[in-house]
Amino acid sequence: MHEVSLIEALFDQADRAIAPHRPGDVRRITLRVGALSGVEPELLRAAFEGCRGERGYHRASLLVRDEPAAWRCAACGEALGEALPLACARCGGDARLAQGDALILERLELEVPDV
């Protein structure tokens, strides 16, 4: 299950982003998961639940936002929608994937004591 290694990398990235705060200060982590990213959201959630305590993120929850695939014309930039088109109806250019193939750390929410 490669989702465990993705969650470990997520925690590494979060550690760097929240310094000098502690992982225990994180309340929510929001991820954007592309439809073509090769990541199974339910397995990702299970990996998060299994790893969060050992990494110190015991109070954090995971919010997964699905991102559909979207295509654009490589020649003219026309948005071609979510279904894979063969070519642009406007100019005949090649379709290129514009979104939906990534796993993105979108937001970290922390609760820190007043200074």
The residues facing 28 across adjacent strands are 61, 109
Residue 32 tokens, joined: 């954007």
Q: How far apart are CA 81 and CA 8, in angstroms?
A: 33
Q: What is the mean pLDDT of residues 5-33?
A: 95
Q: How far apart are CA 8 and CA 76, in angstroms?
A: 40
Residue 67 in contact with residue 97, Cβ under 8 Å?
A: no
Residue 36 in contact with residue 71, Cβ under 8 Å?
A: no
pLDDT tens string 44-91: 999 999 999 999 999 999 999 999 999 999 999 999 987 777 789 899
Total-model pTM: 0.85
SS3 state of residue 73: strand
Residue 108 has pLDDT above 90, yes or no: yes
- Alpha-carbon Rg for the chain, nearest whole angstrom, is 18
